[in-house]
Amino acid sequence: MQLERLSIAEWADALPATGTEVFHSPEALSVLDDHAPGRMELLGGFKGDRPTALLPVFVREPVVGRIVTSPPPGMGVPRLGPIVMPASPKRRKREQVNQRFAELVIEEFDLGASTTLFSMACHAGFEDPRPYGWADFDVGTRFTYRLDLDGHDPEEVLSNASKSLRREINDARELDVAVEREGVESLRRTFDGTKARYEEQDKTFPQSWPYVRDLYESLGDRARVYAVRDSEGDFLTGMTVLYSDEDAYFWQGGSRTVHEGVAVNSLLHWRVVEDIVDDPPMPSVRGYDLHGANTERLCRYKSKFGGELVPYHVVETDGYRMDLAKSAYERVLR
């Protein structure tokens, strides 16, 4: 296998039709290239002319050392990481391709060096981080919730949700409110609301409006904004959803909003579920990734939807040096 750097066009040609997430798309990566700190490197492992593995990384080189991440921090990208696509479906061949590609990436960026920091949150379809563990990186597991909607009616899915969520959605349906797909204006309202929510909790919201707007516009049909409005047409709350070829992903907004004594944020999520079944942007979309299964407070709410708890892997430089790096990054944000 040889390692090559790819252009966006070459990346698009090499990307498989399945097994990727929305931020692997060339449209999303182009926006990250414009807005994320450092430089983007699109890596491809090739056997002859055939791509067998892909990985986008973002590289920063301060005065001393190097920081290599996938995804870049602070951009609202929950997962990215490698895509492995061997010619043979056999397990042994897949492991060989995965291990060799990991070795080439580690060697290319000298990821094991004392002056290099590496952090990678892999997409849920990447199953084998062992080569990074064997190279003395810390390997951990995190989780997301995914609703499988393939062949299901929304009301059938709702019947599998918790009693309290069903009650909340049904109560919101009785209100004189409307949930609609809208455009950039509601995207901005959703962004502002999300930023305000972070500030209320004394947290820094690192994403900028130009980045959020550019991502929405670049993704086209792969991004939708949902808004709840009252009987007077006033904006109550909104939510942004992004789409890969296979799944919808909750991205921004959807914070708890009470109207006439009823929380309406769950109604937003359920409109997304209904659209995945009845009006998806692509016919291949069949799941809803709710995100946020690693925070206890969020889990108490999102587990109510009855989705499957799906693991994904995180690879990082060993703990002590990574803790120092995270502290320095937080100081920069402040």
> 92 and 218 share a domain?
no
Q: Is the dihedral of CA 106, 88, 10, 251 positive or negative?
A: negative
Q: Lowest-confidence range among 205-209, 212-216, 296-300, 303-307?
A: 296-300
Cα distance between residue 209 and residue 226, in whole Å: 17
> 22 and 116 share a domain?
yes
- 327 pLDDT band, cuts 50/70/90, is low
- 333 pLDDT band, cuts 50/70/90, is very low
Q: What is the pLDDT of residues 138-184, one digit of tens each?
A: 999 999 999 999 988 888 888 889 999 999 999 999 999 999 999 99
Burial classification of residue 130, based on how many CB atoms lie within 10 Å of its CB (0-12 exposed, 13-18 middle, 19 or more buried): middle
The C-alpha angle with vertex 9 and arms to 6 and 12, in degrees rounded to 5, equals 90
> 306 and 324 share a domain?
no
Give how many domains the chain has, as a whole number.
2
Whether residue 51 is preceded by a cis peptide bond, meaning omega within 30 degrees of 0, is: no
SS3 of residue 247 by DSSP: strand
> 150 and 226 share a domain?
yes
DSSP string across 49-98:
TEEEEEEEEEEE--SSSEEEEES-TTSS---B--EE--SS--HHHHHHHH
What does the buried/exposed string (b/e) look like for 37-61 if buried means 16 or more CB atoms within 10 Å of the residue's CB? Answer: ebebbbbbbbeeeebbbbbbbbbbe
> 160 and 200 share a domain?
yes
pLDDT at site 331: 56
To which residue do tokens 């502002």 refer? 192
> 186 and 86 share a domain?
no
> 21 and 161 share a domain?
no
CB of 225 closer than 8 Å to CB of 238:
yes
SS3 of residue 185 by DSSP: helix
> 155 and 130 share a domain?
no
Q: What is the pLDDT of residues 287-321, one digit of tens each?
A: 999 987 888 877 888 899 999 999 999 999 986 66
To which residue do tokens 């450092």 refer? 38
Q: What is the pLDDT of residues 34-62, one digit of tens each?
A: 999 999 999 999 999 999 999 999 999 98
SS3 of residue 20 by DSSP: coil
SS3 of residue 258 by DSSP: strand
Amino acid occupying residue 209: W
Q: What is the pLDDT of residues 67-111, one digit of tens each?
A: 999 999 999 999 999 999 988 888 999 999 999 999 999 999 999
pLDDT at site 321: 63
* Longest CA pairwise span in the chain (Å): 63
- 324 pLDDT band, cuts 50/70/90, is low
> 95 and 132 share a domain?
yes
CATH number for the domain spanning 305: value is 3.40.630.30
CB of 61 closer than 8 Å to CB of 21:
no
Token code pair at residue 219: 């993704």
> 117 and 246 share a domain?
no
> 277 and 149 share a domain?
yes
The stretches of the chain forming alpha helices (DSSP H) are 8-14, 26-35, 91-108, 130-134, 154-159, 163-173, 184-200, 209-219, 265-278, 296-302, 319-333
Which pTM value belongs to this model?
0.92
pLDDT at site 62: 85
Amino acid occupying residue 181: R
CATH number for the domain spanning 9: value is 3.40.630
Query: In terms of residue numbers, what domain contains 94?
Result: 2-137+317-333
> 76 and 150 share a domain?
no
Q: Is the dihedral of CA 26, 238, 184, 220 positive or negative?
A: positive
